[in-house]
Amino acid sequence: MPEVEPEDNISIKRKRLLFRSWHRGTREMDLLLGRFAEAKLAEMDAPLLDAYDAFLSNSDPDIYNWLTRQEEPPVEEEGPLLQILLDFYKP
């Protein structure tokens, strides 16, 4: 079996993250994260994709509250990815 090139790995990761973003379990989160993923995943590099992958491990209520600014995100979530998400959903 041929070895997968790094760019192919990134492409596969983007597809998986897009799927996970659109299939969260609640329609609200599907819409929030799915729209974000469609707009931003293509321009993300490997470290940002890894950060987004980890971010998706958070619960839907937490993510929803952070993106709608009902709660402050925890310090461990702060970083470039969270800033991109918050900017995307700036009121």
The answer, yes or no, to whether residue 11 has pLDDT greater than 70, is yes
pLDDT value of residue 19: 97
The answer, yes or no, to whether residue 4 has pLDDT greater than 70, is no
> What are the residue boundaries of the structural domains of the chain, listed by start?
6-88
User: What is the average pLDDT across 70-78?
Assistant: 94
pLDDT value of residue 25: 87
Angle at 74 between CA 68 and CA 76, to 5 degrees: 130
DSSP secondary structure letter of residue 45: -
The answer, yes or no, to whether residue 83 has pLDDT greater than 90, is yes
Task: Write the class of the CATH domain 6-88.
Answer: mainly alpha
The answer, yes or no, to whether residue 5 has pLDDT greater than 60, is no
| pLDDT per residue as tens digits for the range 18-39 | 999 999 989 999 999 999 999 9
Q: Give the rounded percent of residues in the chain with a pLDDT score beyond 90.
A: 85
